[in-house]
Chain A
Amino acid sequence: MILTEAAAARGPAGAWTSSEPLVEVRALKTWFPVRSGVIGRTVAQVRAVDGVDLAIRQGETLGLVGESGCGKSTLGRSILRLVEPTSGEVFFKGRDLLRMGSGPIRRMRREMAMIFQDPFASLDPRQSIGGILGEALDIQRLSRTRRMREERIAELLDLVGLSPRFASRYPHEFSGGQRQRIGIARALAVDPSFIVCDEPVSALDVSIQAQIINLLQQLQERLHLTYLFIAHDLSVVKHISDRIAVMYVGKVIEISPARDLYARPRHPYTGSLLSAIPIPDPRIERGRERIILKGDVVSPVNPPSGCRFRTRCFKAQPRCAESEPALETVRDGEHLAACYFPL
């Protein structure tokens, strides 16, 4: 990849400029051991993320889609080093996060944050909203005086469209949509430039989802944020993303500008994924050609040889079992797919 070469040619840390990717992931692997027996011997490895290369540009939203167990959440957490990757590199503003000690990584975390799927599970029920937001400020020692702290909390609540009066209230007093706003305020507390949004609207009622999607878009413009937006709902991802990466069993199998991916998916998996999303219009929905896949998602413990999708693929040939196709340009430089027989 061209981007990777640019990063390799770059000098030592600190030489990063905003024209380069904000986040760059190279050959990233995060494997989890499967232990068994009384002594907990490792009997297998779950290859949750199994060799991913990815670049996220400053100010963009990169959507990351795939089915449950494909490794998309683990990839998001690996980038923030909330889980420890097995191997590979993650550059943030040109500095390799995986080779950083705990002090420097904590300072780097001021620039990165995460928004979770279930705002209720991720908010401490015994803490007031002010306490929850204040804690995020305290960890990074961001408010020198109590006054500054309170002002910042009020400012954060205002940013996410909540009244500063809510600071003294507790999570259970809020609806799902409001709780997600609080989750977003907490992510913003450290004034990050990069946020991993992990299924931020999946747990919300349909009528609330649009509020949160719009809020995330407004905040992006106002605060110049860069998002990695992880979700299984391709309609939502297409709406919010500039580019979309599709994962299947630990690998990115296609990456492309959002419009292009929908207009012309190249990987058979992406094609079937798109055709499986119901469109809320009976006139269109009833006439659609669907690619119904056979079987279930394969296990990330023992992925098939060659292309991991070949066991469910309607275009698979003997070659697909022999070697794994690389993620390569299929049309122009922006649209890449890992398939020997693209659509």
Chain B
Amino acid sequence: MSARLLELEDVHTQLTLREGVVRAVDGVSFHVDAGETLGIVGESGSGKSMTALSIMRLLPRSGRIIGGSIRFKGRELRDLAEAEMEALRGTDIAMIFQDPMTSLNPVYRTGWQVGEPLRIHRHVKTAASVAAAVGLFKKVGIPEPEKRAMQYPHMFSGGMRQRAMIAMGLSTGPSLLIADEPTTALDVTIQAQILDLLRHLNREFGTATILITHNLGVVAGMCDRVIVMYAGRIVEEGRTEDVFANPEHPYTWSLLRSIPRLDAEVRGRLQPIEGSPPDMARLPEGCKFRSRCSFAIDRCATEEPELRQVRSQLTRCWVTQGGVSLESQSDLD
């Protein structure tokens, strides 16, 4: 049995859409250890959210896991009956989403809703569950928790709703929290509050976190390790410091150079990544990033590289796997 908290092995998830069959997650393997924070970054359509929904078995109706293994504490989640999965979702794995409004039911008081997992999975009585919700509200920094617990979701601001969702997720003391773009819909000062809260909860309760985001700055401040996804695959994986200091995949490398930084001294032109992400229904042969890559060699057009160790990271790139350093190569240009 594996000692990993969560382990994905060669997971394939398909979406059957009008445009055709989309391999949204195409051979994804990674693990999460107890207490750590793993970041998954990628653009829309990169498969980062579909990976999370595959773990939770909350895929849209068009989606299906067609291969691979997802083990949580050694149990294969793909084999669980829906009722068992439901119990796991309410207790040991929690997930929070980008838009907390759509996750809260507008017709029930927030305290009652936040206490729901405790009533269902821990058989706590209604009054005690609401009292527990008040305590959780306090923990996640919702002011006047007694009053707030009696209010409806529309009376909460976006940041407060996200706090309420986090409170609900944490009510049963899960070992894994999956946060899918939890701050994307929020203003920066509120984002800072929520990230601060997540950091604090991770330290206090040792909850392992998968943080899915498109924001490289959020990853830099939050994550021990990071996975970079592109076109349904992992293209790079490593410790956050290593990936940011010495990216070993051209996508990561160019992405870090294309974003404006608040602490940048000179105001020159940005170095954009040309082109657009590929159409997932018509993926090209070879490396999926090739058409946008400034390092591409002939081989990239025909053969897709595997995810292999290069220095301290894993990368899916023929160029760096062939021993070339992106930094020195770019100096030649």
> Residues of A with Cβ closer than 8 Å to B?
67-68, 175-178, 205-211, 213-214, 217, 232, 234-236, 238-240, 258-259, 262, 272-286, 288, 290, 292-293, 295-297
Chain A: interface secondary structure? helix
> Which range contains the number of B residues in contact with the other chain?
35 or more
Does the CB pair B277–A207 fall under 8 Å? yes
Which residues of B lie under 8 Å from residue A236 when comparing CB positions? Answer: 260
Does the CB pair B189–A67 fall under 8 Å? yes
In the A-B complex, list the 6 residue pairs whose CB atoms are closest, starting with the nearest.
Answer: A278-B217, A210-B272, A239-B260, A276-B192, A67-B187, A280-B216
Does the CB pair B188–A277 fall under 8 Å? yes
Which residues of A lie under 8 Å from residue B271 when comparing CB positions? Answer: 210
Does the CB pair B269–A214 fall under 8 Å? yes
| A275→B221 CA distance, assembly (Å) | 12
Which residues of A lie under 8 Å from residue B313 when comparing CB positions? Answer: none
Which residues of B lie under 8 Å from residue A259 when comparing CB positions? Answer: 267
Q: Give the contacting residue for A290; candidates B192, B256, B258; CB below 8 A.
A: B192
Additional pairs, 18, CB under 8 Å, beyond known A206-B43, A262-B263: A67-B187, A205-B277, A207-B258, A207-B272, A207-B273, A211-B272, A211-B274, A214-B269, A240-B260, A276-B191, A276-B192, A278-B215, A278-B217, A278-B221, A282-B241, A285-B220, A286-B220, A295-B143
B296 within 8 A of A: no
A selection of 7 A-B contacts at a CB cut-off of 8 Å is A205-B277, A208-B272, A210-B270, A278-B195, A278-B221, A279-B217, A297-B187
Does the CB pair B241–A279 fall under 8 Å? no
Does the CB pair B192–A292 fall under 8 Å? yes
Within the complex, the shortest CB–CB distance from B228 to chain A, in Å, comes to 11
Which residues of A lie under 8 Å from residue B262 when comparing CB positions? Answer: 234-235, 238, 262, 274, 277, 279
> Residues of B with Cβ closer than 8 Å to A?
43-44, 143, 157, 159-160, 187-193, 195-196, 214-221, 240-241, 244-245, 254-256, 258-264, 267, 269-274, 276-277, 292
Q: Give the contacting residue for A213; candidates B215, B240, B270; CB below 8 A.
A: B270
Within the complex, the shortest CB–CB distance from B102 to chain A, in Å, comes to 17
| A236→B272 CA distance, assembly (Å) | 13
Does the CB pair A177–B261 fall under 8 Å? no
Within the complex, the shortest CB–CB distance from A16 to chain B, in Å, comes to 29
Q: Give the contacting residue for B259; candidates A68, A206, A284, A285; CB below 8 A.
A: A206
Within the complex, the shortest CB–CB distance from A24 to chain B, in Å, comes to 26
Known: A67-B188, A207-B43, A290-B192. A279 touches B255 (CB 8 A): no
Does the CB pair A292–B196 fall under 8 Å? yes
| A236→B258 CA distance, assembly (Å) | 11
| A214→B272 CA distance, assembly (Å) | 8
Does the CB pair A214–B216 fall under 8 Å? no
Known: A210-B271, A280-B244, A284-B263. A293 touches B220 (CB 8 A): no
Which residues of B lie under 8 Å from residue A234 when comparing CB positions? Answer: 188, 262
Of chain B, the residue at the smallest CB distance from A178 is B276
Does the CB pair A235–B261 fall under 8 Å? yes
Does the CB pair A296–B190 fall under 8 Å? yes
Of chain A, the residue at the smallest CB distance from B190 is A296
Does the CB pair A281–B187 fall under 8 Å? no
Of chain B, the residue at the smallest CB distance from A238 is B262
Does the CB pair B269–A281 fall under 8 Å? no
Does the CB pair B269–A217 fall under 8 Å? yes
Does the CB pair A214–B270 fall under 8 Å? yes
| A205→B216 CA distance, assembly (Å) | 12
Which residues of A lie under 8 Å from residue B191 when comparing CB positions? Answer: 276
Which residues of A lie under 8 Å from residue B260 when comparing CB positions? Answer: 210, 213, 235-236, 238-240
Which residues of B lie under 8 Å from residue A176 when comparing CB positions? Answer: 276
Within the complex, the shortest CB–CB distance from B292 to chain A, in Å, comes to 8
Does the CB pair B244–A210 fall under 8 Å? no
Of chain A, the residue at the smallest CB distance from B45 is A205
| A241→B316 CA distance, assembly (Å) | 37
| A285→B292 CA distance, assembly (Å) | 29
Known: A209-B259, A214-B270, A214-B272. A279 touches B220 (CB 8 A): yes
Which residues of B lie under 8 Å from residue A213 when comparing CB positions? Answer: 260, 270, 272
Within the complex, the shortest CB–CB distance from A141 to chain B, in Å, comes to 36
Does the CB pair B276–A175 fall under 8 Å? yes
Which residues of A lie under 8 Å from residue B277 when comparing CB positions? Answer: 205, 207
Q: Give the contacting residue for B261; candidates A274, A279, A288; CB below 8 A.
A: A279
Known: A278-B218, A290-B196, A292-B196. A206 touches B189 (CB 8 A): no
Which residues of B lie under 8 Å from residue A262 when comparing CB positions? Answer: 262-263
Does the CB pair A280–B187 fall under 8 Å? no
Within the complex, the shortest CB–CB distance from B235 to chain A, in Å, comes to 13
Of chain B, the residue at the smallest CB distance from A282 is B220
Of chain B, the residue at the smallest CB distance from A174 is B276
Does the CB pair B220–A280 fall under 8 Å? yes
